[in-house]
């Protein structure tokens, strides 16, 4: 019976180590998800700002092009 108890004891320690390992992995995964969500929100906000700036510049360029289009002489260009 002593041998059986030793085996069970080793399995108990091994099982405890595996449980601790799973808990650590779960915590790392949760932390990674939180960080990815925060970074994702910030990058999305940056993308929206960049898109608005590009749209604004495009509208200005179109407006300038339309006003310059009617000029028949280079000297008339703004």
pTM of the model: 0.45
| Alpha-carbon separation of residue 50 from 5, 12, 40, 53 (angstroms) | 67, 57, 15, 5
Sequential pLDDT tens for the chain (78 residues): 445 545 555 556 667 788 899 999 999 999 999 998 888 888 888 888 888 999 998 988 888 887 776 555 555 555
- Which pLDDT score is estimated for 74? 57
């Amino acid at each position: 019976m002593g041998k059986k108890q030793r085996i069970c004891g080793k399995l108990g320690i091994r099982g405890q180590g595996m449980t601790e390992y799973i808990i650590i992995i779960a915590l790392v995964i949760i932390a990674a998800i939180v960080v990815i969500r925060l970074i994702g929100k910030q990058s999305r906000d940056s993308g929206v700002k960049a898109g608005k700036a590009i749209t604004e510049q495009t509208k200005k360029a179109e407006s300038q092009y339309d006003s310059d289009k009617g000029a028949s002489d280079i000297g008339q260009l703004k």
